[in-house]
């Protein structure tokens, strides 16, 4: 019952191994995207669906803050919402994602309308928001630690997109460039918080399960895109059809 919990270092290594094993940089869709193998339609499908994830991240962070009674922890977390929503219209991560949408030929208003999102995308993303709203705070913070693995995929993506696609330039990829600056400070805070608060073996197991859950949330989104737009390319009823929502 009361196993002696592994050290902080061993626990951190366990969390990092989850990324090695399951983070969505291993998903074949990312290989296709970063190597220049995606058709323009497939890039658009990714931008449309990933918008839904981006749009829910500040809602997820607000759901977390709605459960935190410590003003210091809320204040530390608040910068995540500021990063996504910005300080004025047209600023912040969501606005930068819509610049990418425009660069790949999509009407940003269409993308922001959330029309044509794959149901499987909604289910996965909504499950994440609910998870953060309902599960223990330790699980909610641990789930955010996929950011540990994000800098590498963002660097690979920026390099791959710049090399292979005409739409890629400093402006259209500004979302990823900014995340390279923002994510490390967020995740350093989150990782320390989890290492500080996961004191028992049961806590560490719970945190690890939460991080695994989050890798599932990310992986399932790419699986949905793959099935609908790559192979067998069977688009579910009501989801975005190539040619819709163009500029």
- Residue 212 neighbours by CB distance under 10 Å: 16
* Closest distance of CB 13 from its own copies, Å: 32
- Using CB under 8 A, which of the segments 41-49, 68-76, 120-128, 179-187 binds its own copies? 68-76
- Helices then strands, counting H and E runs in the chain, come out as 11, 0
**Which neighbouring-strand residues pair with 246?**
106
- Using CB under 8 A, which of the segments 59-67, 162-170, 191-199, 228-236 binds its own copies? 59-67
- Using CB under 8 A, which of the segments 87-95, 148-156, 172-180, 238-246 binds its own copies? 87-95
C-beta closer to its own copies: residue 21 or 114: 114
**What is the separation of C-alpha 76 from the centre of its chain, rounded to a whole number of angstroms?**
19
Residue 86 interacts with its own copies (CB under 8 A): yes or no: yes
Q: Report d(CA 197, CA 135) in Å as an integer.
A: 15
Residue 139 interacts with its own copies (CB under 8 A): yes or no: no
Q: Report d(CA 243, CA 228) in Å as an integer.
A: 15
Q: How far apart are the first and last CA of the chain?
A: 60
C-beta closer to its own copies: residue 23 or 51: 51
Residue 209 interacts with its own copies (CB under 8 A): yes or no: no
* Closest distance of CB 34 from its own copies, Å: 28
C-beta closer to its own copies: residue 47 or 63: 63
- Using CB under 8 A, which of the segments 22-30, 50-58, 144-152, 180-188 binds its own copies? 50-58
Site for its own copies (CB under 8 A): which residue of 25, 85, 147, 223? Answer: 85
* Closest distance of CB 106 from its own copies, Å: 18
Residue 92 interacts with its own copies (CB under 8 A): yes or no: yes
Residue 196 interacts with its own copies (CB under 8 A): yes or no: no
How far, in Å, are 46, 103, 123, 235, 239 from residue 232 at the CA level?
16, 27, 21, 9, 15
Torsion of CA 213, 216, 221, 226, to 10 degrees: -170
| Alpha helices (H) in 35-118, listed in sequence order | 40-65, 71-85, 93-103, 108-112
Nearest CA among 246, 247, 242 for reference residue 45: 242
Give me the 114-133 binding string for its own copies, x by CB under 8 A, dash otherwise: x--------------x---x
C-beta closer to its own copies: residue 65 or 206: 65
Nearest CA among 60, 78, 47 for reference residue 210: 60
Tokens of 27: 């998903």
Residue 234 interacts with its own copies (CB under 8 A): yes or no: no
For its own copies, the binding residues (CB under 8 A) are 55-56, 58-60, 62-69, 71-72, 74-75, 78, 81-82, 84-89, 92, 94-95, 114, 129, 133
């Amino acid at each position: 019952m009361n196993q002696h919990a592994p050290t902080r270092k061993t626990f951190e290594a366990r969390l990092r191994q989850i990324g090695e094993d399951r983070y969505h940089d291993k998903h074949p869709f990312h290989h296709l995207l970063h190597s220049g193998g995606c058709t323009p339609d497939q890039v658009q499908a990714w931008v449309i669906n990933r918008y839904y994830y981006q749009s829910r991240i500040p809602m997820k962070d607000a759901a977390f803050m709605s459960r935190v009674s410590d003003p210091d922890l809320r204040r530390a977390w608040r910068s995540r919402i500021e990063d996504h929503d910005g300080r004025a219209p047209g600023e912040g991560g969501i606005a930068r994602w819509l610049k990418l949408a425009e660069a790949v030929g999509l009407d940003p208003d269409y993308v922001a309308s959330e029309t044509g999102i794959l149901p499987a995308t909604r289910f996965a993303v909504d499950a994440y928001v609910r998870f953060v709203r309902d599960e223990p705070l330790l699980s909610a913070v641990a789930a955010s630690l996929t950011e540990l693995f994000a800098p590498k995929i963002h660097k690979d993506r920026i390099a791959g997109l710049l090399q292979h696609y005409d739409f890629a330039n400093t402006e259209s990829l500004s979302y990823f460039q900014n995340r390279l600056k923002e994510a490390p400070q967020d995740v350093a805070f989150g990782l320390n918080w989890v290492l500080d608060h996961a004191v028992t073996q049961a806590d560490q197991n719970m945190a690890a399960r939460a991080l695994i859950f989050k890798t599932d949330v990310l992986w399932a989104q790419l699986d949905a895109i793959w099935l609908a737009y790559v192979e067998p390319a069977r688009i579910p009823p009501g989801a975005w059809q190539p040619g819709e929502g163009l500029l």
